Each structure stands twice: as structure tokens, then as C-alpha cells.
Structure 1
Amino acid sequence: MDMEKKEQYNNCLKFFRETKYAEALPLFNDYLQRNDLTTIEQSRTRYCVAACLLNLEGNDTIDAFNTNLEQYIEALSQTDQKDIAPPPSLDCFGISIRYSLKHIPLDKLAETIENRLKKFVKATEPKITLKDYLDKWKQELDAERRNYSDPNYNLKTIELANGLLKQMKDNPEFTQDRAVVYNILADIYYFSPPPEYQNASTPNAKLDKVRECLDNALQEVPNDLYAKTMKQNVDDLSSTALQIRRFQHDTNTRLGNIGTIAGELLKKTEVGSEWESDILTLKRELEGVNAIGRLIKRQKPGPDDWSEIDMADLVTSLLKERRWPPACSEIESPAEEEIWPEMMTLALDNLMRNTEEAYTRQGRPLPDHPCNIRWIPETRQLVYTDFAGGIDPALGDIFEPYNSSKGVYDNVGLGLTQTREALRIQGFDIALSKTQPDGGAEFIITLQA
């Protein structure tokens, strides 16, 4: 390498080592165009170009990456075997996998890597073997399974794993490796299953898939300790889950029966009587239990869950149940909105409960007018205001578990968390008003269009 060429290359490396990839890339490209390079020099430089492109954002680098990789492999194929160094060649294959994970559609991911694998192997055998490249693939698989910053890391891990298994199929040399990959798949399906394995209507699907992966691992290596232990845990969990589902079914049936009885009692009770309030409370508590159960399971509302409800009637019913004065509501009827009544009731009930508990914790009696509730039809917003104590900014997000709007730091519970979740499952949201009343709290519930 003459001095001028060496100086130019070192200048490229300076920016590359400082991770200034946007500055290094055009310098490397210029170096490639201006100099007559040996195949080793070409491959070394194109390795750096590939690394630069990997670390640049945007999808406009795909064509450049593919062209550079083809030229890198071409340079390798023309290099004397004794001059090929395995580490950079394997690392470049790893770069190609990582680049594919960032830019290649999921359904083309395994196919793309497989095609590149064949070209790498053809260019470097026998110096670098198929097993060497598959070991690198396995390393990238292990890294991707921990790439929690990518919301689709689980789906990409599954594609990588299945593609790798295809390459190792029926080859006794890879028996242990196949078991490792099956165990990785079992972990993914157990801890981060794809959406189709999270459906409540098919509760066994996830565990069945995990068990299938573990059985495959044990078929490869019968004494695989991880697969044996994990499978026993999955079997135990399946048995427990079945018992819980049976218990839930029986419990829901009984709660439904109690709700029906409460409804019949309400029909026989004199309007405005003390018994009417108690029965309303019982009926609403039963509906709340059902709503909380669906929240826990993250069950989305079905068509039958939505109803056109007058917000004035819904709020008045909750006030009557608590024996709070009707004047707490400033909502003029009709104020009809399509909502999930049980979830909206759960949200508002938790806000009222939050007000009650605040007065209790402070040793203050509940005032005659505990809250004020307004409806703004133009913006489809429900405004809930109380004067049970201001909000301590040190608490942070008061809708997170174990935070509170009332200045209590420990062991508060899930009331406001349930409020937010009960609204969000309907596509609505809740936030604190930008201007808070003195000695109180104001919440704004927004019904999205």
C-alpha cells in the first residue's frame, strides 16, 4: 500500500473508529473509486462500508448495502484461501443478518439470510465452513431474542430460529444446536408469544406451542435439562390454568345469577327508598367485578358491549347509589354517547371512591357536595372535580399503580389505574386538567371520535 493510499485509508478509519458513520461512508466510497485495490483491501474496505450502512437510519440504504455486500463476497471469492481471515468474514455475515433484521420484511427475512449464507459459503469454503456461518447465525439469534427495544423482536426471533433450523435439518452434526434453538423458541412462545397465541378464546394454544418446541428439543437431546425442567413447569401450569378456568366459569355463572336476582329485587323496590340505593350498589358491584375480570384478561369490547347511554342518567345513578346529591351533576339530559356502560361505570366509580378515600385518610367528613361533574358536548369531554386535597407533583404519574392524587405515597392500590384502563379499553382516555383547583383535583375524560 503506497503512502498516499495508506494515508487516505487511515483517514477513513479515523471517522469510522469514532463511530461517525455518516462522515466515514463517503470517504470509504471515494477510497474504493480512486484506488486500484487488491481483493483483500477491497474486502476490508467493503466490510467497513457495510458496518457504516448498518448504523445509518432510514431505508434508503438498502440498494447500497446489497450492492456493497455482493462486491464484498465477490472480492472474497477472488482471494487466495490462505489469505482469508475467518473473523471479519463471519462478522460481515453477522452484519448482513443485523441489517436484514432492520430493513427486510418479516416474510422475506429467513429467505434473504439463506441466500446470503449460500454465497458466503461458496466464496470461502473450505477455509470457512457452513458450520462456522451457522454458529454466527446462532449468535445473532441469541442477540435478537434479547433485543427488547424492538417491539417485533419476538416475531423476528421466531423467523431467525425457523430459518436456522431449516439449514441444520437432518444433519447429525447439528443435533445439540437444534436443541438449543428449540429451547429459544420455547422461551419466546412462553414469555413473548405472537398475537395469535394470546387469544383468550384459545387459552391452550400458547402452552401447546411451548410444549411442542420442548418436545422437539428433547427429541434431539433426550437429557436436555432445560427442556425437561421447562416442560414439567408447563405441564403443571396447564393443569393449574385448567382448574382456574373451571373456577372462573362457575364463579361467573353464580355472579350472573346474583345479578339477575338483584335486578328482580330492584323492580319490586319502591323508588327512592333506602333499599333501592343498597340494591343499586349490589348490582353495580357485581357489574364491576365482571368488568375488572375482563380488564385483567385485556378483553376488547365486542359489538354487544356498546350501548347508546345518556351520560346524565349514568352519573345520576352513581350519585344516587352513594346517596350523593343530584346537584353534583351539571349534565343536562339528553347527553347520549356510545360507550361500554360497565367500563364507564367502573371508571367513574373509581373516581368517586378516590374522593371518598381522600376525605377518610385526612380525617375529614364527607361534605354535602363531594364532587362536581360536567359534560362538554363540543369536545365530548367529561370533567370530574373534587376538593378532597391537591395533587403532589412528587408522585409523578398518578394513574400508575400505587400512586395517588391525594398525597399518599405507599400502598394506595389500583383505583386510578383501573380508571385509566377501563377508559382506554374503550378507546377513551383520562388526564389531569392543566389548571387544577385549589385544594382539589380535576380530571378530564375524553371520548375519542
Structure 2
Amino acid sequence: MGKTYLDEYKEKLRTADEAVKVVKSGDWVEYGEFMMQAKDLDAALARRKDELKDVKVRVVTATFMPEIVKCDPERDHFIYNDWHFSGGSRQLAMKDLCNYIPLTYHESGKFVEDFADIDVAFIPVAPMDKHGFFNLGTSNSISSYVINKAKIKIAEVNTSTPVCFGGSKEAVHISDIDYIVESQTNPKLLNLPELPVTDVDRKIAALVMEEMEDGSCIQLGIGAMPNTVGTMIAQSDLKDLGVHTEMLVDAYVDMYDAGRVNNKRKSIDKGKMVYTFAMGSEKLYNFMDRNPAIASYPVGYTNDPAVIGQNDKVVGINNALEVDLFGQVASESSGWRHISGTGGQFDFILGSYRSKGGKGFICLSSTTTLKDGSRVSRIRPTLSPGTIVTVPRSCVYLVTTEYGTVNLKAKTTWQRAEALINIAHPDLRDELVKEAQKMRIWTKTCKIL
């Protein structure tokens, strides 16, 4: 009788401390993504601190404080980087302990294949099945690209990981793994705290709901407002909705359980809720476990604008920090202070526009309150100095505040300024008009409604 998968498993099984011995000074190491991150291997690598120099670590949206950062605050041994900032990465960046990697998300496959050095990949997985496969859990995203590129692959097995069915690349075979580490703690996936919802969030969500139709295909970004839209959908009488999204969140469970989502009208992946990663609560993770109603794909599929646009009536709903009077959208930094990443916002704005009957929303409250208590407009004459543009003005479609929704497509600079000022806070519109006049994007025909 030949060697079985179990035999191969035993041959490749190592402790975390044994497995990380393959990491050398100067290596690039991938840690995993979103809720699927290698905690036992991180701790073991930190224990090797004094043996290593200049080890570069990358993660996608860190959801825990890595031991390699705790043990090396001077960054003499480890240099930590994030493909898409989380709140934790943001705080570390302000202490010079984390750097961002600019990325157009749907281009990740070529990005990794052609340009990213990966010496060692830590791959968080569910336990091996009888066919020799390890499921990648809640995060498909760039994992398959990392696995293909990495010189050495170490699987960290966590028995708490849900098995999430996929459309493609949702698992890795034992033959493609070099070493296996069984987690000693088997930590449960992080449960995101429920975000507080404001009256402004509800007003914006209600305006977006006015644009919803039976048969719409939904994408929700991260944040309280998109989740509020999901809650409103669950409580509505909308029918035959589909899901093609970057991120799967709790709101989709509510929509599905309420009978709003059945994916019957989708042009592609009919009958499936398509996503590339998930972040939520235990309710979401339990819903995902071995559920044939959902399918994960690599981000090169879910976020490709050409793929997104194949479904009709795609409604993409995403947040922003600022929008200027030219229509430029900033969603990832405030000045030079980095907050998030490009993520899928750019992809879904393009994809929804390609969709027959599609609508891509950029949503933001009209004002924000600074630490000194002053109120400032989030619709600005120009973006704050140093602010990164997430969606260029040529691509922006619909912009929504609590004062309305405007369509910027085919609008001149003065029409854009007029439209955006009319959804700014009423108390701040006159000042915006003065600035628009200075910038020569206001005409005699423009009006404040």
C-alpha cells in the first residue's frame, strides 16, 4: 500500500519553533489575511528575534498585535507591513512600526506573481480533509497567489476555522505544503464589535435604499452605514437580490435569512453569494461553515471590474473620508496620516458602472467634528494636503450625504461643484461657493437649492 495523506501529514508535522527555523535574515514572510492570521508561528518567529535581522513581514489587514512587533519596537529585526490597514496597523503606523503597501486590489495576482518576493508563507487553515486538502477558511483573497509564489509554505492548522466552500482556490493540497504546524491554542476567529449607528448613517442608508430594485446585486463596504443598508434591506420587501462582494459581513446573513437574497437573477454564479473574505461575528462564521449557498474566490475574480459588470443592477456601497469639489474621493488617508487602503472601493465603482443598471455609491456624512469641537465639511474645495486620492474624479459615479445623492457622470467642473455643494451641510455651503469661485469652477448659472 502506498503512502497515505495521513503519512505525508505526519512527515511534514513540526512544532512552530521547528518550522520557523526556515526563516533567514533578509527574508520576506507572509502572515495571512484578515481573520486568517498565523498566531502560533508569529510567536515562534518572535522567539528567534536575536538570531535574525531585516526580516520583512507582510499581512493583509492585521487583526491582532503581532509578537514580532511587541518584541522589536526599534525594528532592528523585523519590519512589519500591511497590504490594507486595520485599526491596529493605523496605530502602529503612527509609532513608525508599520508601513502600507499601495495596491489596486483586483490586480493582486499579477502584483504578487511579478513583483512580490515571498520566501516563506505562513498559511492559516482548517484541518485537512480526507482528500488531503486544507481549507483556507474565511479568507481566499490573495492566499492562492501567495501559495503559488512562496518558496516555502507552512500551514498553521486551527480547529476553530470554519470550512468555507468556494468557487475557486478555497483550499490548498498537502502536496503543496512544506511543513504543518498544529495550533496549540486554536483561537476562535476575531468577532468584530458592533459599530454604533448614527442618525446620519440611517439617513444616508435610507437614500441609498431609494435606489434599490428587485434583482439588485449587492456589494457592501466596511462600516456602520453599509451595514445599516443591509439591515434595511433585510426589513424591506425587496425580492430576488444577489450578492457579489469583496467582503462578507453579518448583514448578508440577515438579508439571506429574511429571504431577500436568493441569487436567482445573477448572470454569473447564479444561486451563490460570492465573496473573497469575511469579517464579522460568530453568527457570520457559523453561517459560512460548510454552506453551499456561498462561494469564495480569489480577489482577482471577485474584484475584477469586468467580472463585476457581468451581473445586472450591481449596487456598490462604500464609505469615504472626503470628497473635493472636483469629485476626487479620499477614503484611505487624512493628509499624510494613513487610515485604510484602496481596498475594493475603486474596483466596485468601476464594476458597478459597467453593470447594466448598476449604481456605485460613495457615501459620507456632510461634516465631521475635530478634536477641538469645531465642525468642518467633508465636502471640501480641495483635498487636505497630503491626502491620497482613492477614486479619481473621472471614475466617480454617485455621491451621497444625508442631504441627497448626486450623479457626477458627464458633469462639467462647475456642474460637479454645484451638485456637491448642494449635498454639503447647509451652514457651510456659502463658504464652499466662495472657494469654488476662486477656483473658477462656479458660473453665474450655478445655484444653491
Using the size of structure 1 for normalisation, the TM-score is 0.24
Comparing both structures, which one devotes a greater share of its residues to strand? 2
Instruction: Say which one has the larger Rg.
Output: 1
Bigger relative CO (Cα 8 Å, ≥ 6 apart): 2
Comparing both structures, which one devotes a greater share of its residues to helix? 1
